[in-house]
Chains A and B, each alone.
Chain A
Amino acid sequence: MKVAVLKGGASLERQVSLRSGARIAEALRTSGHDVVEIDVDQGLVKNLRESQPDAAFVALHGRGGEDGTIQELLEIVGIPYTGCGVLSSTLTMDKSLTKLLLQKHGVPTPRFVSFGEAAFKSLGASDALDRIEELLGFPVVVKPARQGSALGVNFAADKSELPPAILSAFSYDESLLIEQFVKGREIAVSVLDGEALPAVEAIVRGGDFFDFESRYEIGNTDYVCPAEIETTIAQKLAAIAVETFQLLDCHGFARVDFIVPDDGEPQVLEVNSIPGLTQTSLMPMAAEAAGISFEELTQRLLATSQSRQPYPLG
């Protein structure tokens, strides 16, 4: 099959995407596919028309790649592509929308409120900040609604720490959420073809726990796969992950990130429609634990491009 691996782009996660893309391209070649690697830019549509691939493997992260933009474009040019479609990409990219939908269907997720930048600029939202303590209680985590990496994610221990955290989050998106901080183990469950893979636990051991950026530096976090959790919890996480996957209309694969309190229900934090596929990424780790090699994983991810319902164009 002739496959175009779409990578790079101009999002803040460009580097991760380049690494994911390179690794995928290598694996696809090993499996005998004819691969073109495309660093996406203004020339993308022309590039795709020239190379005429049978499928596009979307190895982009963050804005433009994971938020429905490229999926929409691929629907229009008529090239089958891997993973989530337009609706689920748009939903999962936005943490607030995701959580609203989960709440509506009774899937546990930490309490939160969301704000648009316009509310602060023209509707006096600042005057409503005093409600945060009552609604959520401190500490809270302030996050840009649509930003894949840890940039702009800040912890606020009390009311005085809200303004800088809000300022930071709005640097990455015009919409943010303030979420109740839930203490617990951080566990990710990847879903492949509608089935949950073994859970991966991230254990922060170095750096500052509350500096979200430093946690993702190599050496500051250990990953344990399969996560050492009770079978009943593992089953529960798998069930919630699959339910979340379906609720958000995901296709093919996605990764559901949980926080699991010592006493209490696991809570869904967010869903990644295009989880990282680099050497340090969680989904390949989970697949390997399930006995799926990286080559096999990329093959199965590629196959998801052929099984999606077509976009209801006209």
Chain B
Amino acid sequence: MDRKRSSKHDIERYARLFAERSEKVKTSAMRDMMSITDRPEVISLASGMPDTKSFPKDLLESVFVDMARHHSAELLQYTPTDGIIGVKRCIAEVMAAENISADVENILVTTGGQQAIDLITRVLVDPGDTIITEAPTYPGAVPSFLSFQAEAIQIDIDGEGIRVDLLEAELDRLDQAGITPKFIYTVPTFQNPAGVTMSLERRKRLVEIANERELLVLEDNPYGMLRYSGEPLPTLRELDGGNYVIYLGTFSKILAPGLRLGWIEGPSPVIEKCNIAKAAADLNSSGVAQYMIETYFQQADWRDWVKTASAIYKSRRDAMLAALERYFPPEASWTTPEGGLFIWATLPDHIDTTDLLTKALRSNVAFVPGAGAFLGSKPDPRGRNTMRLNFSGVPEDRITEGIRRIGEVVEEQLELWRTMTGEHRAVRTDAPADGSEESSVSFLAGRKMKRQAG
């Protein structure tokens, strides 16, 4: 007898109607669990939130008043799909601060950096096309990649960013199979989630690879301006001169995420296609937000807030690093970011950070388990013992207390593990880490960097 599927029940009824691409993006118990991290009693090191509390209120007020006086009709109106010229000029100014001379013609204003990723994927990727990302990669980009049914290949990163040697080997392999990846997605500076920065040597090599092989690179650079130590490095876009690198920017971290404004800068044929796709998606980004940016850039030096915010984040980063050193066990390692918002910590293999999060939540502290930054077929064991820690959204004393609580639950897990396996407690040593044992997903390189800095 044939199996009859229940045809009456709601979920079955709708399930038949869902597009294949919507099935690729799944809910999970873990994602549901994250919803309880936003209770007020929880110290959340899980968000990616910049600090908005310290933004000068009188400046904000005067910007709102001014733009309402001078642009009320325009800001209430539809605006051009690619963005108003005033905002494009602001974007060119921000990019100039990164040593990039951008033509306003090649800029598309988007609704946040997130839409930039979504539009690019939409115009470049057919179902089954291959794309390349870092491992770990920005978890927020994953739903876009999956919903356009991209086959994502992840290339490991270490303390110097993406492993270009592994990338080349993979590109050779793909080439032999007759596959051209549609793009290489990277966050080279203060990466989300790992916090690491691609070295100059690798930047140059990556740009060379893109030119030699005629491949597009998506350089996602939300955090580049937020540097707290070390010397600035040229962007991929600067090194490439605009041939194969598409630059994704955002006002979220240099001003405020509430505006939902970002941009794509790239070769004009790509921008034109993205423009058409954007018209379909939302016609235009908020006129209110665009006029606000234009007015803000007229009234104030946008670098001032970047400086203020950077000073706040630097001190929070330092507090987190000090707390990690004090409260995390010797078996743990972590990256020492020179900027951005995140530290990436790696625990011993047998600690699953999704499980650990449950225990941590009982101690009212939250982080993001690393597993979501890896896209392998389930269950992808990579990253199971890693976590992303945000230091921008919480003041120093809360950071210290949060790390103390996480350290405590990690120690509990380790103690239990030792009783089951008879392993001995590890001892922290200041001897350099043994490079021969360097595993590709661990961030021993980051750890070494930390020692040098200390």
Residue numbers of A with Cβ under 8 A of B are 10-16, 117, 120-121, 124-126, 129, 149-152, 162-164, 166-168, 170-172, 207-208, 211, 213-214, 216-219, 222-225, 228, 279-280, 284-285, 288-289
Contacts of A223 in B (CB 8 A): 6, 9, 11-12
Name 22 interchain pairs, CB-CB below 8 A, sorted by A.
A10-B36, A12-B33, A117-B416, A125-B419, A126-B419, A126-B421, A126-B422, A151-B355, A152-B355, A163-B420, A164-B350, A166-B416, A166-B420, A167-B352, A213-B28, A214-B28, A217-B26, A217-B27, A219-B26, A225-B6, A289-B6, A289-B8
Q: Are A120 and B6 in contact (CB under 8 A)?
A: no
Q: Contact check, A149 vs B6: say whether CB atoms are below 8 A apart.
A: no
Distance (whole angstroms) from the CB of B6 to the closest CB of chain A? 5
Contacts of B15 in A (CB 8 A): 218-219
Considering the chains assembled together, what is the distance between the CA atoms of A284 and B350 in angstroms? Answer: 39
Please determine whether A171 and B30 come into contact, CB atoms closer than 8 angstroms: no
B-side contacts of A172, CB under 8 Å: 355, 358
B359 within 8 A of A: yes
Q: Which of B9, B23, B413 contacts A167 (CB 8 A)?
A: B413
Q: How many A-B residue pairs have CB under 8 A?
A: 114
8 shortest interchain CB distances as A-B pairs = A171-B355, A15-B32, A163-B420, A217-B26, A279-B10, A211-B379, A126-B420, A280-B11
A166 CA to B417 CA in the complex, in Å?
A: 9
| B5 touches A (CB below 8 Å) | yes
Using Cβ atoms and an 8 Å threshold, which residues of chain A touch B9?
223, 225, 284-285, 288
Is there an interface contact between A224 and B4, defined as CB atoms closer than 8 Å? yes
Given the known A-B contacts A15-B35, A117-B416, are A211 and B378 also in contact in the complex, defined by CB atoms under 8 Å? yes
- Bound together, the chains give a CA A207 to CA B27 distance in angstroms of 13
B428 in the interface, Cβ–Cβ < 8 Å?
no
Tell me the residues in window 419-451 of chain B with beta carbons closer than 8 Å to chain A beta carbons: 419-422
User: In the bound complex, what is the Cα–Cα distance between A222 and B27 (angstroms)?
Assistant: 16
By a CB distance below 8 angstroms, the chain B residues around A120 are 416, 419-420
Instruction: Return the CB mask of B2-38 against A: 1 if under 8 Å, else 0.
Output: 0111101111100100000001001111101101100
Q: How far apart are B99's CB and chain A's nearest CB, in angstroms?
A: 45
Q: Does B356 interact with chain A (Cβ within 8 Å)?
A: yes
Which chain B residues lie closer than 8 Å to A163 at the CB level? 350, 417, 420-421
Query: Which partner residue on chain A sits nearest B418 by CB separation?
Result: A126
* CB <8 Å contact, A213 and B420: no
Contact of B75 with A by CB under 8 A: no
Nearest residue, chain A, Cβ from B384: A164
Q: Are A171 and B35 in contact (CB under 8 A)?
A: no
Return the CB mask of B336-375 against A: 1 if under 8 Å, else 0: 0000000000000011101110110000000000000000
Task: Report B28-54 CB contacts with A as 1/0, cut-off 8 Å.
Answer: 111011011001000000000000000
Q: Which residues of chain A have C-beta atoms less than 8 A from B30's C-beta?
A: 151, 213
